[in-house]
Amino acid sequence: MAPHSHSAIDPRPATPDLEWVVCDICGHDDARRLATLPPPDRLLWPMHRLGASALALDGQPIHLVECRRCGLVYMNPRLTEAAIARFYDTVYAAGAAELFESDLAVQVRYYLDALSRHVAAPRPHLLDIGCGAGQLLALAQARGWRIDGAELSAYAAQHASQTLGVPVHCGDFRTMGLAPGSLDAVTLIHVLEHVRAPVDFLRDAAALLRPGGVLMFDAPNVDSAEARLARRLRQPWRGFIIEHLYYFRPALLRRLVADLGLELIAIDGYLPGVPLPNPLRAGCCARQPTTCSTPSPRLRPGGTTHPPAPSLFGRAARLRPATPILSTAADSLPIPRRACWRRSPRPSPTSDSRYPGTAGRAPTDAPPGRYPAVRARRSPPAR
């Protein structure tokens, strides 16, 4: 991928808690509005209203936008890393951590069962990135797996170590010193939508896999049946929540996996623990090739179609036929033309009048890639 980084995003954010970003996949600043989040005091979920009460948004709206080039859906302007940290600190201080983890505790068996179908090593080595309180790791360990965890939340990491006795690195997994090509499996459950540069994050996670190693992750799915129904009814989709920076669709995940040089094993929408498609999320499982391959440097906008992938959980994939990214929901969403904005394909660094103080950042003038700081915390599954 050509170097691009969001570590030096707009130096003049609209408020100290908001920052402007370009598409993390293709680097363009050419997106259309899909939805606007309600003001902090009118967010759907009480926990989000609580966390947002700690933010200083100065009345500025937060939009969910879709890149016209590649179809990635992201929050823009989005909360800064410091604002997200304050959001979670407020939520955790109110005792919501138990809520976060109790929901996940009942799901990990389903994740591990699905992963186990694709990992053949006799005593596989698993890294769970964003491992939360460590339930997935504990279950894998009980089944004889070698385990490592990474978690940014000190609260959760301490809970995992003290309560479940699993090894958890509190911090970015890229600072763990794991050797590239050394792992049999890497999982990112309820993580990708939280990281600030998901493409680099996935690439670095995949680089830890040995040939034939398996990457399993999930993400909010804007092509889910529920999201499509919400669009049809012109209602806000409950899956759009304030701490999720990115949203995906299965077609985009397939292209992302291919462009990272991975072989897609399965992709699906699912609800962990229940053998029905998840109304909110998509799950993806991919394998590091056993033979050397050269991934393309950057996702190409539009065009490529792929056959439907097999299901992660053994059912026929319930996906619509693959369509070019550029012509998917972007043209079918009920957003009035006048409500959309259009940006130049080669954005100028001038300010956006709707967001005083912000400036578009040309994707080509970014500093070469350094890992931007990430804050990958699990959120409670929005239900």
Closer to Zn ion by CB, 69 or 231: give it. Answer: 69
> Cα(330)–Cα(72) distance, rounded to whole angstroms?
10
Does position 25 interact with Zn ion (CB under 5 A)? The reply is yes
Closer to Zn ion by CB, 69 or 169: give it. Answer: 69
Q: Name the segment binding Zn ion (CB under 5 A); options: 39-47, 65-73, 272-280, 324-332.
A: 65-73
Closer to Zn ion by CB, 26 or 62: give it. Answer: 26
Q: Is 32 strand, coil or helix?
A: strand
Location of structure tokens 């700081």: 373
> Cα(317)–Cα(70) distance, rounded to whole angstroms?
22
To Zn ion, the closest distance from the beta carbon of 267 in angstroms equals 20
Does position 23 interact with Zn ion (CB under 5 A)? The reply is yes
Closer to Zn ion by CB, 111 or 246: give it. Answer: 246
Which residues, numbered 70-89, are part of the site for Zn ion (CB under 5 A)?
70, 72
* E strands, 221-272, in order: 246-247, 263-269
Among 4, 32, 69, 194, binds Zn ion (CB under 5 A): 69
Q: Is 298 strand, coil or helix?
A: coil
To Zn ion, the closest distance from the beta carbon of 157 in angstroms equals 33
Concatenated DSSP letters of 165-224: ---EEES-GGGS-PPTT-EEEEEESS-GGGSSSHHHHHHHHHTTEEEEEEEEEEEEBTTS
Query: What number of chain residues touch Zn ion (CB under 5 A)?
Result: 7
Among 9, 21, 67, 126, binds Zn ion (CB under 5 A): 67
Does position 104 interact with Zn ion (CB under 5 A)? The reply is no
Number of helices and strands in the chain (H, E): 9, 13
To Zn ion, the closest distance from the beta carbon of 23 in angstroms equals 3
To Zn ion, the closest distance from the beta carbon of 79 in angstroms equals 20
Does position 330 interact with Zn ion (CB under 5 A)? The reply is no
Element (H, E) at 116: helix 108-116
Closer to Zn ion by CB, 70 or 202: give it. Answer: 70
Closer to Zn ion by CB, 190 or 255: give it. Answer: 255
Q: Which of 188, 243, 197, 242 lies closest to 219, judged by CA?
A: 188
Q: Name the segment binding Zn ion (CB under 5 A); options: 37-45, 69-77, 207-215, 221-229.
A: 69-77
To Zn ion, the closest distance from the beta carbon of 69 in angstroms equals 4
In contact, 281 and 218? CB cutoff 8 Å? yes
> Cα(34)–Cα(374) distance, rounded to whole angstroms?
25
Among 26, 104, 157, 251, binds Zn ion (CB under 5 A): 26
Closer to Zn ion by CB, 271 or 326: give it. Answer: 326
Closer to Zn ion by CB, 69 or 254: give it. Answer: 69
Which residues, numbered 164-203, are part of the site for Zn ion (CB under 5 A)?
none
> Cα(288)–Cα(214) distance, rounded to whole angstroms?
6
> Cα(52)–Cα(91) distance, rounded to whole angstroms?
9
To Zn ion, the closest distance from the beta carbon of 68 in angstroms equals 8
Measured at the CA of 42, the angle between CA 38 and CA 47, to 5 degrees, comes to 110
Residues that bind Zn ion (CB under 5 A): 23, 25-26, 67, 69-70, 72
